[in-house]
Amino acid sequence: MNRTKRKIFETSMNLFATKGYDATSIEEITSVVGVAKGTLYYHFSSKEEIFNFLVEEGMKLLENSISIKIANCNTLQNKLKAILLIQIKVMTKYEDFMTIVLSQVLGKGSTHLTCRKYVFEYIDLVEKIIKESIDKR
């Protein structure tokens, strides 16, 4: 990700977390980043695309971190411990991301559906890890 796209990404995440998705405008994002609207639209076609990218990247980070951490765990107890530690780390290190996801999980809009989709995929991943560990016993 180039520097401008990263700045748009990080600024949007901060604004969505502090003001809320609906209260944040493209104009505000471009103003804080210090770029023209055309530059923003070069990287993202809409505010919703920024949101979707943000949630997708955050959930990938969470899932990849868990996969790496549990790779060397031999027991269900160790896997669960690793999952919980990763969740705590992500919640503290990426507080804005978690604020956005948790604030958008409920509701009927497209951002709500996107968050719910990723949260349910994450739950399915953890459930799969638990089931596989139980089946290996």
Q: What is the pLDDT of residues 32-47, one digit of tens each?
A: 999 999 999 999 999 9
Domain ranges of the chain: 3-135
pLDDT score for 108:
87
Q: Residues 6 or more apart from 26 whose CB is under 8 A from it?
A: 37, 40, 46, 47
| 1.10.3720.10, 1.10.357.10, 1.20.1050.10, 1.10.150.20: CATH of 3-135 | 1.10.357.10
Q: Residues 6 or more apart from 64 whose CB is under 8 A from it?
A: none
Q: What is the pLDDT of residues 72-107, one digit of tens each?
A: 998 999 999 999 999 999 999 999 999 999 999 988
Record the pTM: 0.88
